[in-house]
A = this chain, B = another copy of it.
Amino acid sequence: MRSSERIGGDIKRAELELMTAKAAAVRPAGLTVPQYSALLALSDHPGAPAAELARLCLVTPQTMTTILQNLVAMELVERTPHQWQRNVLENRLTEAGYATFRKADKGAVAVEQKLADAFTPEERAQLRALLQRCSAVLSEG
């Protein structure tokens, strides 16, 4: 099997370009892409524990802990003990965190919009269906 016949390379390259474009889009807000992803998840799930944010962002809990530590240091996120379960820490956006997220989100949405505009609705549905089949096949075994 020659490299030129491998689908994986095309997926990787597209993901790489996506990350590069998104990184450039959220950098003016002072964020990295994983930090933006965490803020996005947090804006949709206020008070979610780190483990839940990790599932939403497709990373491990350890990774999310690292990301949250940096966001707390930047005073964009607050971690407070859960009212009932003392073992759980609730995460919430601060005022500054919400403002920073909105600024970064404009850039990130622009990237997604640019990507979406490159396809007809039919092509878009086709691409997503094919990608979802990739995910399904790969996660089988």
Chain A residues close to B by CB (< 8 Å): 1, 3, 5-8, 10-18, 20-22, 40, 44, 58, 109, 111-116, 118-119, 123-124, 126-128, 130-135, 137-139, 141
Report how far A116 CA is from B116 CA in the complex, Å.
25
Whether the pair A118, B134 counts as a contact (CB closer than 8 A) is yes
Set of chain B residues within 8 Å of A131, measured between Cβ atoms? 10-11, 13-14, 127
* Closest-CB distance, A10 to chain B (whole angstroms): 4
Contact A114 B141 (CB under 8 A): yes
Could you tell me if A21 and B141 are in contact, using CB atoms closer than 8 angstroms? yes
Chain B residues contacting A130 (CB-CB under 8 Å) are: 119, 123, 126-127, 130
- A contact face: mostly helix, strand, loop, or mixed: helix
Q: How many copies does the complex hold?
A: 2
Q: How far is the CB of A112 from chain B (nearest CB, A)?
A: 5
**Is the Cβ of B1 less than 8 Å from the Cβ of A22?**
no
Contact partner of A118 among B1, B20, B123, B133, CB < 8 A? B133
Do A134 and B7 form a contact, CB below 8 Å, given A1-B112, A139-B20?
Answer: no
